[in-house]
Amino acid sequence: MKILFFSSKSYDQQFFSASNKPFGFDLKFTEVPLNMGTAVLAGGYEAVCVFVNDIVNEEVVKALAAQGVKLIALRCAGYNNVDLKTAAASGIKVVRVPAYSPYSVAEHTIAMILTLNRKTHRAYNRVKEGNFALNGLMGFDLHGKTVGLIGLGKIGLVTARILNGFGCKILGYDIAKPEEADRIGIEFSGLDNLYNQSDIISLHCPLTPDTYHLIRKETIAKMKKGVMLINTSRGALIDTKAVIEALKQEHISYLGVDVYEEEADLFFEDLSGRVIQDDVFMRLLSFNNVLITGHQAFFTSNALQNIADITLQNIQEFESAKGLKNEVLLS
């Protein structure tokens, strides 16, 4: 079976080529992202493998179907970029990797909280320049602080377990209360109470029509002044302009984001030699209490290994016409 990998990097090639040994699929890698201009490359391939910022909208799915593609294999958990309705109507199956390492994302979330609190990003630069003054570096004890987690799925629950170790009080909100919540010590809460009470708020829900701009002017107004906001889920959960305004008003005192609503034009590329044209992003970068990473929360060797293994297993299930364990179905 021939599979074309869009948006692939050297690390994808390394992990997928190694994992492919027992499967023996014919893998072709291109750095080119999938969009309407590149869908034509899929001619002759039964499956395409795509990542978070590939465009898999209605017209792209139709173009893939016209090329004879039968399977879209996402090598990620989120599937908000895929038009599932058109895929179903075109007879294309969609599979994903629902869980590869919740630890990778949860641990990156904690790294962001600790960096913003203890200002290690600023301390690192100061000490390099021989500046050992502590002014401006004061943090707070995480012990005893209230952390609000929105989304108590795999990543939210691992984050809660780690925060327990710090002695935090944990409030959690989800559309469905998970069984483990009580055992982990999460106080299940309504959203308004979570906004009101939390010193730190971290987002772990998927991007859906319901969660688009969940964090906006009205919801920020319900948060404590001085709150820390962390988003390692999807950029469009946050209305970036509203958050910038709240940073300017010092309502939000710390912001950590691994994702950004317009990240498709920026992330995963070396743009250090170019002028970045996104003024909203550049404004975000200008705050020294904002920490941005370029969608790297998943990026551990353990996660990449699992992503490669599970994606190839998904493709094998499709080839052998077994039930697709990780199929993404229209809800």
**Which residues are catalytic, by number?**
234, 263, 295
Question: Which of 50, 258, 45, 20 has its CA nearest to residue 155?
Answer: 258
Q: Tell me, residue by residue from 277 to 316, as one string, x for binding to ligand NAD by CB under 6 A and - for no binding.
A: ------------------x-xx------------------
Binding of residue 81 to ligand NAD (CB under 6 A): no
- By CB under 6 A, name the one of 3, 77, 113, 201 that touches ligand NAD: 77
- By CB under 6 A, name the one of 103, 206, 266, 305 that touches ligand NAD: 206
Q: Fill in the amino acid letter for 276.
A: I
Binding of residue 175 to ligand NAD (CB under 6 A): yes
Cα 133 to Cα 51: distance, rounded to the nearest angstrom: 44
Binding of residue 232 to ligand NAD (CB under 6 A): yes
Cα 172 to Cα 174: distance, rounded to the nearest angstrom: 7
| Eight-state DSSP code of residue 74 | E
How would you label 295-311 residue by residue, b for 16+ Cβ within 10 Å and e otherwise? bebbebeebbebbbbbb
Cα 256 to Cα 265: distance, rounded to the nearest angstrom: 20
| Eight-state DSSP code of residue 1 | -
Binding of residue 204 to ligand NAD (CB under 6 A): yes
- By CB under 6 A, name the one of 42, 155, 170, 315 that touches ligand NAD: 155
- Number of Cβ within 10 Å of residue 293's Cβ equals 17
Nearer to ligand NAD, 1 or 184 (CB): 184
CB of 222 to ligand NAD, least distance (A): 15
**In the complex, which residues of this chain contact ligand NAD (CB under 6 A)?**
77-78, 99, 102, 105, 150-156, 173-176, 204-208, 210-211, 232-234, 258-259, 295, 297-298
